Amino acid sequence: MTRAAWHVATVAEARQETPTSRRIALDIPTWPGNEAGAHLDLRLTAEDGYQASRSYSIASSGPGTRVVLAIAEVDGGEVSPFLVHDLQVGDQIEVHGPLGAFFVWRPARDGAPGDAADSSAGADAAAMPRPVQLIAGGSGVVPLFAMASAHAAAADATPFRLLYSVRTPEDLFFADDLAALAAAPEPTRLALDVVYTRQAPAGATRAPGRLTADVLGELVWPVEREPRIFVCGPTPFVESVADWLVAAGHPASSIRTERFGGA
C-alpha cells in the first residue's frame, strides 16, 4: 500500500462564519470527492520548512472539487488563528484526504432511505427507515451539517433531525443554511432543535441553559424508532450526551461519536 499524495488546495472563498470562526471554501482540482461526515488533514509550511498539520471536519460532500471547511479559532492555537485571520483568497495550502469511513452518512441514489444496508432493522428496513438523529455541540456541527445537506441534496427519505447546542444565536454555524434545510418540503425537511446554553434569542420558548438528559430526551427520536445517532462536539459534551443516550435505552451500537479537545 502506498500513501496517498497530498492535494494542493487554493482558497476560493473565505468569510466570517461566527465571531470566532471562519468558513473557507477550497478548490482542490485533484480531490476525489468525499462522503458526508468525512474529515481531512490540512498542512501549512513556513518558509524555513517548519510544518504544522491539523485534522478538520468537512462541511461539504459529494463528487465535486470544491471543499468547504468551517474553522473555529482555538485560543493560543498555532493553526486555527492563522486560518481564521490570515489566510486569504488565492492562497494555497495542502490537504490530505478524504479521511474517515465510519463517521459518515450515505444517501441512497434513488430517493429511498439512505444507508439502509447499515440498518439493523432487518427485512423491514426499507419500509421503516431508521431515522437519523444528529447531535452537535458548538463547532461539532460541521460534519453533521454535511450530512443534513447531503440528505437534502439527495432528496433522501430518511427522517432527519438535528439537536444543536450552542452558546448564543451569533455562535450558530450555518445559520441561514440550517434555516433553509428546516424549511424544506417533506420528506427531506430537517427537524431542527437549537438549545442555547448562555443566551437565547428573543421569543425563545426555552430559557438558556446547558443541555440536560431531560431536554435531550424531549428533542431526539425516541428509542422505539431505533434512530441512528451521530454526536459531535467537545469531549465533555459528547461524553455526557452519549452516556444519557445509553441510559435512555439507545443501543451503544447505534451511536457514533466524534470528539475534540482534551478531557
Partner 1 sequence: MSFITRGFSGRGRDRDERLPPGQTLVEDWPVLSAGPTPEISTDEWRFEVRTEAGRKEWTWDEMQALGVEDVTVDIHCVTHWSKLGMAWRGVPLDKIFEEVETSHDYVMAHSYGGYTTNVPLDELLDGQAWIAFEADGEPLDPEHGGPARLLVPHLYFWKSAKWIRGLVTMPTDDPGFWEQNGYHLHGDPWREERYW
Minimum CB distance to partner 1, residue 3 (Å): 7
Interacting residues with partner 1 (CB under 8 A): 1, 3-4, 6, 8, 41, 43-47, 49-55, 78, 82, 86-88, 91-94, 96, 99-103, 235, 239, 242-243, 245-246, 252-253, 255-257, 259-263
Distance CA 119, CA 108 (A): 13
* Residue 30 φ/ψ, nearest 5 degrees: -95, 5
In this complex, which beta carbon is closest to partner 1, that of residue 47 or of residue 214?
47
Nearest to 107 by CA among 68, 149, 164, 56: 149
Minimum CB distance to partner 1, residue 16 (Å): 18
Minimum CB distance to partner 1, residue 47 (Å): 5
| Contacts with 223 (C-beta within 8 Å, 6 or more apart), sequence order | 248, 249, 250
In this complex, which beta carbon is closest to partner 1, that of residue 4 or of residue 121?
4
Distance CA 165, CA 195 (A): 5
DSSP state of 232: E
In this complex, which beta carbon is closest to partner 1, that of residue 19 or of residue 262?
262
In this complex, which beta carbon is closest to partner 1, that of residue 16 or of residue 92?
92
Minimum CB distance to partner 1, residue 209 (Å): 23
Minimum CB distance to partner 1, residue 218 (Å): 20
In this complex, which beta carbon is closest to partner 1, that of residue 27 or of residue 41?
41
Hey, what's the torsion of the CAs at 237, 241, 243, 246, to 10 degrees? -160
Distance CA 187, CA 158 (A): 8
